[in-house]
């Protein structure tokens, strides 16, 4: 499946702060069918955690606030620059999704 996820405009990425996430939780994203788009401010790497991936990773912690998650993210792994300056935003998942919760 090909995602329609695209990086945010550079100005929006630079202005991002964790307070913009509000009180959204993993459960919010699962219930609304949103992917979590994770964008590095250092290298503009963009990763999508789809609802099935969110459920697999955090299904036992549905009340985990996205803001708390952002504070633990870094641009790591293959192709990552190591930056801890991360922006996140919701992206409507491109495949059919119904949260079983």
DSSP of 24-39, one letter per residue? -BHHHHHHHTEEEEEE
In the predicted structure, residue 86 carries a pLDDT above the cut 70: yes
**Would you list the domain boundaries of the chain?**
10-92
Please report, in angstroms and rounded to a whole number, the separation of the first and last CA atoms in the chain.
24
At 1 the pLDDT is: 67
From the CA atom positions of the chain, what is the Rg in Å?
13
In the predicted structure, residue 60 carries a pLDDT above the cut 80: yes
Contact between residue 69 and residue 23 where contact means Cβ atoms under 8 Å apart = no
**Model-level pTM?**
0.92
pLDDT tens digits for range 39-49: 999 998 999 99
At 25 the pLDDT is: 97
Of the candidates 101, 75, 99, the residue with the CA atom closest to the CA atom of residue 87: 75
At 28 the pLDDT is: 96
At 64 the pLDDT is: 97
């Amino acid at each position: 499946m090909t995602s329609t996820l695209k990086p945010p405009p550079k100005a929006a990425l630079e202005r991002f702060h964790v307070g913009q996430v509000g009180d959204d939780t993993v459960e919010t994203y699962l219930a609304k069918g949103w992917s979590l788009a994770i964008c590095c401010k250092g290298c503009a790497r963009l990763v999508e955690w789809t609802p099935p991936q969110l459920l697999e990773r955090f299904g036992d912690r549905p009340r985990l606030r996205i803001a708390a998650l952002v504070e633990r993210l870094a641009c790591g792994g293959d192709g990552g620059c190591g930056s801890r300056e991360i922006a996140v935003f919701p992206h409507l998942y491109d495949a059919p999704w119904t949260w079983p919760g």
